[in-house]
A and B are shown apart, each in its own frame.
Chain A
């Protein structure tokens, strides 16, 4: 009885407007039409406005001379070169600062996470203060503080701070002594490269063998040995040191030689790294704490030493938790590099904004900026997701 009643109502009287299939199709059509109209409306408006205002939508202007300078371009550039070139300079700056930032933030974040977990109360508090400071102020404000406040205490060029290295620090930037390749240097690099490839191959083959047979294969010492040998061989082939040290020295207005980090780059790089490191520290700490104590105790009980416990038990498990939020932190860092225009570091967005001002082609330039960031983001998350998939548990 109780079962029959609902069946009856269902079969007899389903009006078409309550039929789920009809509703589905109707919703499909309606949503498609709505979205189509919205896009159509925007495009028509836009084309009309473009026509009325004589706005050209072509990318032809990219070939014209840019006419504006860019501070310290990482690739060759002068104002007589094209807009496309200027844009490329911006892209190079974005890549450099995000790349350096990602590496530094990861290392720093991990160290801070360890400090936070330290049994020393003071150490742990300092790490906490660092994290709480950086997580709770806007990055833009942090940038201003680093660039306009901290750097204003740096001495002018004539009274540079000299740190061992030698490293010179003054208002014009940080000048590092930097190793540069000699003429025969590439020979050394090739030899070293071959050595590393062989070492990696030996490492994986021998380790596999060890895992399969259980015999000791000394994969670690063997691969390290291979690298050392290739280093020595390369050194001799190059006929002495493959590097010479380029030391900066004061000539005229500025220091010449060495590796120079401009204050703009340094400010951007430091703020980005510190800001992201605070977030990464929390991610890493969460990951490490998520590994249950029983796992560690069990590993100890099996006779693994401290290094083995960390590298074979704790890290693999922690990494599974750490990697996904880490990916989004890396993406954030890349996107946040667009704030650099506030302190005069000229990455993609800053260059694009100047180009809009100078060339007046707002829409094409803007499309270019969006496309650049979008492809950067998609590319990064694509690569990192492959890595992520490799280390995750296989769910059956």
Chain B
């Protein structure tokens, strides 16, 4: 469905041609093309038909529909769900505000999210986890998105404030989810209880937020004139880039404990996050380094001539240009980070994929239903990462940078 948007954009000529003319030009322009069309069309139709029949009539979606909460929040205590809801609502509000402020793709995303919430809220089925309160909560989020839209539309908020708010949400979110030691209102919740999509998003967002500064630091380190620093950065980057993510996850989950003082324990989720961050930082560093190299020397000389210090030159002259040049590469890196978070299953963390596998394994009956579960997981991952890549393309064209790919 999302791809039809793309199609429309690409095939929109100045004067829309007639339907038949379009078919002639695009499907039957030569003999070879006509043959190709005649062969391909029935195959495509047949495949789509088969898939539809299977999805609608043959598949048993019980293992998917029975545990919506497990898939979204994992083992998070059910009496503390309001915290997750609070963060979710915060994001919906911000989404609304951003839509009001910028429109464009954000509009489609907000509307799609709102539509999805509405559909779930009025689903005419009896479900243990879809209580009246839950339905009301879902509907109220739609209202929240609209409120956000009006705020964004009417009140001229500085865009950096909106960016800052987006940036703060995951940080506040983590603090709220973790809770406080001595509080009865928000008691601590161990991270082993977190799971599902919640953990997938946390790892991806956390990895993105944390790895970026580290990557920039490493990139400067590698270009540094201090031999020790540049050697250390170079070795670090090349070693991390030379090995698969699973080995790094494995190192942080098992080997790291052996290198730390005997009594220190690092939370398992934090260890996974560290691994993801370190891995992603090495790749970001190489991207940023490419950007740094693309900044013409004249720019730096000009800045020096104006009397700017080294530090100021770097922050205000070099870095902005470098980052702009490599933005597409960085966004691509983040999308692959989102997909790579699935590997934490291998070290026993119940992210979205991990919860799916736990569900399959929790009941001998569900082993039969793994086809449905895996396809469902594929669909969810696909939607999110497709949205991200769509967004990145919009950003690219808005900033006038061309992607290398």
Contacts and interface: CB of A to CB of B under 8 A. Distances in A.
A and B from one complex? yes
Interface of A: 6, 24, 27-28, 31-32, 35, 42, 45-46, 48-50, 52, 55, 118-123, 125-126, 128-129, 132-133, 135-142, 144-145, 148-149, 152, 282-283, 286, 325, 331, 335-336, 338-339, 341-342, 349, 353, 356, 362-363, 366, 369-370, 373-374, 377-378
B241 A142 contact: no
A282 B36 CA distance: 22
Contacts of B403: 286
B228 A31 contact: yes
A21 to B, nearest CB: 12
B386 interface: yes
Given A45-B260, A286-B404, A378-B242, A121 B27 contact: yes
B41 interface: yes
6 contacts: A119-B26, A120-B37, A135-B389, A331-B241, A336-B244, A373-B242
Nearest to B368: A152
B362 interface: no
B342 A138 contact: yes
Contacts of A283: 405
A60 to B, nearest CB: 19
Given A27-B226, A373-B242, A48 B405 contact: no
B105 interface: no
Given A338-B246, A377-B242, 13 more contacts: A31-B232, A52-B262, A119-B30, A135-B389, A136-B335, A136-B339, A138-B353, A140-B353, A286-B403, A335-B245, A338-B247, A366-B250, A374-B239
Nearest to A123: B36
B180 interface: no
Contacts of A46: 258-259
Given A35-B228, A349-B244, A374-B242, A363 B258 contact: yes
Contact of B385 (A35, A136, A286): A136
> Helix, strand, loop or mixed for chain B's interface?
helix
Contact of A136 (B232, B239, B250, B389): B389
Contact of A149 (B30, B255, B261, B371): B371
B289 interface: no
A46 B256 CA distance: 9
Contacts of A338: 244, 246-247
Contact of B346 (A122, A142, A342, A378): A342
Contact of A369 (B247, B262, B389): B247
Nearest to A147: B374
> Helix, strand, loop or mixed for chain A's interface?
helix
Contact of A325 (B30, B242, B247, B405): B405
Nearest to B256: A42
Contacts of A119: 26, 29-30, 33
Contacts of A129: 3
Given A120-B27, A121-B27, A373-B247, A148 B371 contact: yes
A335 B258 CA distance: 25
B118 to A, nearest CB: 25
Contacts of A139: 339
B247 A122 contact: no
Contacts of A336: 244
The 7 closest A-B pairs by CB, nearest first: A121-B26, A377-B242, A335-B244, A338-B244, A138-B339, A138-B342, A136-B385
Interface in B320-334: none
Contact of A362 (B255, B340, B385): B255
B228 A141 contact: no
Contacts of B239: 370, 374
Contacts of A373: 242-244, 247
A353 B378 CA distance: 27
B26 A374 contact: no
Interface in B354-405: 370-371, 374-375, 377-378, 381-382, 385-386, 389, 403-405
Nearest to B240: A374
A318 B36 CA distance: 27
A155 B261 CA distance: 55
Contacts of A120: 26-27, 29, 33, 36-37
Nearest to A367: B255
A137 B29 CA distance: 34
Given A122-B37, A123-B40, A31 B339 contact: no
Interface in B5-53: 7, 26-27, 29-30, 33, 36-37, 40-41, 44
Contacts of B198: none
Contacts of B184: none
B345 A140 contact: yes
B3 A24 contact: no
Given A32-B228, A120-B33, A341-B346, A374 B243 contact: yes
A46 B257 CA distance: 9
Contact of A339 (B227, B343, B374, B382): B343
Nearest to B338: A138
Nearest to B360: A148
Contacts of B247: 338, 349, 366, 369-370, 373
Contacts of B87: none
A52 B377 CA distance: 44
A287 B128 CA distance: 54
A342 B357 CA distance: 12
